[in-house]
């Protein structure tokens, strides 16, 4: 499967030829194929060849081999592909904490699980695996959770919705280039000012937007969720509008076509009548010219009617 995922590798500093060569050889040594490596502000952007290569690049094993604080930045799009959404989950399951569900999953599947997030009011549990392949496998096979058999029909891929967010101040609704808060060094990981996320040494997470104990870009952020819902609703609205437009177009065209057909039918009927008339005229035998006294219509007159007829 071809990958369109870009993976950002932050290397605490500007790209240099030595750093790039190091990255090349490390990837070569771990049989990670890639299409391109591009220099970026704090490191490199790698375009892996396949999603398996992307998985390898983001595996904890490879991350360990890269120097400390050289974490690949996982694009949200990739994260969505690693996440499965289970619907119609029994309330018995959602009565457990995210951590408990995660432990149960690991015990049951004997697989690594990155994150569990539940939405009990909607009967939804989201599970993020460390790679796309595992997520795909579970989507196809289903799973067992607290003795509940979850079938593949209940499982969907996480939808990825791009929201407009400033990567400088992390507020929603504008992009970095339009940010009015220049020189504000905010950390999206710990919520502190004075450093960026690439230099964060804090072990605690704090959201810059809601103050919650999660990363600013976390899918668990209620403000982020609201933004995503807004975008999705707009998308939905646009889709409905498009469908309505198409439908009215179809109705209009059908009406036009019907009118055309009706006209044609009318025309055909007229023409047929005309032809019939002509044909009748042409096929009618010439009226025999009879002497005046014999010019009575030739009718077989029944004896009963004879009188009536004579009387006329």
Q: Which of 266-304 are b and which e, b meaning 16 or more Cβ less than 10 Å from the residue's Cβ?
A: eeeeeeeeeeeeeeeeeeeeeeeeeeeeeeeeeeeeeee
Q: How many CB atoms lie within 10 A of CB 114?
A: 16
- For residue 190, the minimal CB distance to Zn ion (Å) is 3
Tell me whether residue 213 or residue 274 sits nearer to Zn ion (CB atom): 213
Tell me whether residue 154 or residue 168 sits nearer to Zn ion (CB atom): 168
How many residues interact with Zn ion (rule CB under 5 A)? 15
Tell me whether residue 46 or residue 221 sits nearer to Zn ion (CB atom): 221
Told to check if 198 binds Zn ion by CB under 5 A, we report: no
Distances (CA, A) of 294 to 70, 93, 297: 122, 108, 9
Told to check if 105 binds Zn ion by CB under 5 A, we report: no
Tell me whether residue 55 or residue 189 sits nearer to Zn ion (CB atom): 189
Tell me which stretch binds Zn ion (CB under 5 A): 37-45, 69-77, 173-181, 266-274: 173-181
Told to check if 207 binds Zn ion by CB under 5 A, we report: yes
Output the six-digit token pair for 264. Answer: 């044609």
Told to check if 58 binds Zn ion by CB under 5 A, we report: no
Output the six-digit token pair for 212. Answer: 């919650």
- For residue 40, the minimal CB distance to Zn ion (Å) is 20
Told to check if 163 binds Zn ion by CB under 5 A, we report: no
Reduce the secondary structure of 211-270 to three states and give it as a string: CCCCCCCCCCCHHHHHHHHHHHHHHHHHHHHHHHHHHHHHHHHHHHHHHHHHHHHHHHHH
Give the whole-angstrom CA distance, residue 6 versus residue 75.
7
Tell me which stretch binds Zn ion (CB under 5 A): 17-25, 114-122, 166-174, 231-239: 166-174
Q: Which of 137-173 are b and which e, b meaning 16 or more Cβ less than 10 Å from the residue's Cβ?
A: ebbeeebebbeeebeeebbeebeebebebbebbbebe
- For residue 229, the minimal CB distance to Zn ion (Å) is 14
Determine which residue in the list 169, 172, 205, 230 makes contact with Zn ion, applying CB under 5 A: 169
Determine which residue in the list 85, 105, 221, 228 makes contact with Zn ion, applying CB under 5 A: 221
Please report the sign of the dihedral spanned by the C-alpha atoms of residue 14, residue 17, residue 22, residue 23. Answer: positive
Told to check if 166 binds Zn ion by CB under 5 A, we report: yes
- For residue 193, the minimal CB distance to Zn ion (Å) is 9
Tell me whether residue 131 or residue 227 sits nearer to Zn ion (CB atom): 227
Told to check if 190 binds Zn ion by CB under 5 A, we report: yes
Query: What is the residue whose two structure tokens read 């690949």?
Result: 72
- For residue 168, the minimal CB distance to Zn ion (Å) is 5
Told to check if 228 binds Zn ion by CB under 5 A, we report: no
The residue count of the chain comes to 312
- For residue 133, the minimal CB distance to Zn ion (Å) is 30
Tell me which stretch binds Zn ion (CB under 5 A): 86-94, 122-130, 156-164, 186-194: 186-194
Q: What is the CA radius of gyration of the chain?
A: 39
Beta bridge partners of 106: none
Determine which residue in the list 210, 219, 227, 228 makes contact with Zn ion, applying CB under 5 A: 210
Told to check if 212 binds Zn ion by CB under 5 A, we report: yes
Residues that bind Zn ion (CB under 5 A): 166, 168-169, 179, 187, 189-190, 192, 200, 202, 207, 209-210, 212, 221
């Amino acid at each position: 499967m071809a990958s369109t995922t870009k993976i950002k590798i932050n290397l605490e500093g500007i790209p240099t030829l030595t750093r790039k060569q190091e990255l090349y050889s490390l990837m070569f040594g771990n049989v990670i194929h890639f299409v391109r490596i591009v220099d970026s502000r704090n490191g490199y952007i790698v375009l892996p060849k396949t999603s398996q290569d992307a998985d390898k690049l983001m595996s904890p094993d490879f991350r360990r081999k890269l120097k400390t604080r050289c974490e690949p930045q996982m694009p949200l799009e990739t994260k969505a592909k690693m996440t499965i959404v289970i619907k119609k989950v029994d309330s018995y399951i959602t009565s457990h904490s995210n951590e408990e569900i995660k432990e149960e999953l690991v015990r049951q599947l004997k697989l690594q699980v990155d994150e569990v997030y539940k939405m009990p009011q909607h009967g939804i549990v989201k599970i993020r695996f460390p790679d796309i392949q595992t997520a795909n496998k579970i989507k196809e096979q289903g799973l067992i959770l607290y003795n509940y058999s979850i079938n593949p029909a209940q499982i969907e891929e996480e939808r990825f919705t791009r929201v407009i967010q400033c990567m400088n101040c992390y507020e929603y609704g504008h992009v970095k280039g339009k940010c009015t808060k220049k020189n504000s060094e905010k950390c999206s990981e710990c919520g502190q000012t004075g450093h960026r996320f690439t230099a964060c040494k804090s072990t605690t997470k704090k959201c810059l937007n809601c103050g919650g104990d999660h990363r600013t870009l976390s899918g668990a952020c209620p403000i982020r969720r609201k933004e995503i819902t807004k975008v999705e609703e707009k998308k939905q609205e646009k889709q409905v509008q498009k469908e309505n437009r198409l439908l009215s177009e179809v109705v209009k065209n059908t009406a036009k076509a019907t009118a055309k057909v009706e006209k044609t039918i009318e025309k055909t009927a007229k023409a047929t009548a005309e032809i019939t008339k002509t044909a009748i005229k042409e096929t009618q035998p010439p009226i025999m010219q009879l002497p005046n006294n014999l010019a009575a219509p030739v009718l077989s007159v029944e004896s009963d009617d004879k009188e009536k007829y004579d009387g006329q």
